[in-house]
Structure 1
Amino acid sequence: MILGMSTSAFTLFHVILSLIGIAAGLVVAAGMFGSKKLPGWTALFLATTVLTSVTGYFFPRDQILPSHIVGALSLIVLAIAILALYRFRLEGNWRWIYVVTALVALWFNVFVAIAQAFQKISFLNALAPTQSDPPFIIAQLVVLAAFVAIGFAALKSFRPVAERREVRPL
């Protein structure tokens, strides 16, 4: 039992969070090309991606796995993305910091999804049973290259209209 759920129910919950995070993240990334912040989609992406990383630590393990390291890195970049967006409102350098950290968090989620797919889906596992085989490496490199291209394009095009901030005395 994990958080009152069977391990299989908790796994399903974790996977659903991850897939929602990936789907919402792709919508957010597409919105960046039109300089759209998409507040609802962005909140959904950030929340489900944080929850995906956090819930990953609830699975019983005897040792630290690569997924734990990716989860920790994801939480760090998500914290920076959340600060850039909600605290610093994308002002100045915080715009590009947000773009980079949001897309890195999305890439981490996709990276782990691909790793899980190669572990759990029979025909993919047959192609790369050790996850050091060429099909796995090629898949991850193609996704990484796509995210680098998306990142550069988003950095150029994501320039949302600045919100007016009311200055309030302390």
Structure 2
Amino acid sequence: MPFDPKTYLLVHVLLSLVGIFSGLVVVGGLIAGVRFSRWVGLFLATTLLTSITGFGFPFVALLPSHIVGALSLVVLLGALAAVYWKHLEGGWRRTFVVLSVVALYLNVFVLLAQLLQKIPALAVLAPTPAAPAFAATQGLVLVLFAVLGWAAVKGYGHRAGRR
């Protein structure tokens, strides 16, 4: 069966969107002080697969997307270790919360970068990553995720008894 780049891209995008949706559910739960185990598994798996499949696209040089993908893999491995190896004991609970929010942020960061690049109406506003609209959008998202991360640590990161 020949390699179909369009199908591969579709699978990659669907994994990313499922990862973002499930990540929002996970972070919402963490803010409320609850860990939804199945949602966590779905989020970590689809976000990990998104990062892995991102390296399957043809390229000739190292791109910023590869750096973000590599960073995402490191973050996800830490989150996976916190949940499945260290069982959220001690400081691993907070580590899991922080790394989960960072993994979701990186996925949303890439989504926004792709939207700003691929949708013509948005590309006019931010034709390159150096454009002020790109920086402003990503800056707002960074602030939003910093607030979400703080709320998630307050909601779930300090609660020793809940899993």
Gaps of 5+ in 2: none
In the TM superposition, what is the alpha-carbon distance from 1:87 to its structure 2 partner? 1.1
Where does residue 161 of structure 1 map in the other structure? Answer: 161
Aligned to 1:31: 29
How do 1:62-81 residues align onto structure 2 when only pairs under 5 Å count?
A: 62-81=60-79
Residue of 113, 116, 122 corresponding to 2:114: 116
Structure 2 counterparts to residues 13-162 of structure 1, below 5 A? 13-158=11-156, 159=159, 161-162=161-162
How far did residue 5 of structure 1 move? Answer: 3.9
Amino acid at match of 2:148: I
- Aligned residues: CA RMSD: 1.3
Contact 1:22 1:110 survives alignment (8 Å): yes
Could you tell me how far apart the structure 2 residues matched to 1:129 and 1:160 are? 47
CA offset at residue 131 of structure 1? 1.8
Which of the two has greater helix per residue?
Answer: 2
1:89 Cα deviation (Å)? 1.1
* TM-score, structure 2 as length reference: 0.95
CA distance in 2, matches of 1:29, 1:162: 15
Give 5+ residue unaligned stretches, structure 1: 164-170
In structure 2, how many angstroms separate the alpha carbons of the residues matched to 1:63 and 1:101? 28
Q: Which structure is higher in RCO with an 8 Å CA cutoff and minimum separation 6?
A: 2
Q: Which has the larger radius of gyration?
A: 1
Structure 2 letter corresponding to 1:110: V
- How many residues get paired? 161
**How big is the shift at 1:160?**
6.1
**Residue type of the alignment partner of 1:148:** A
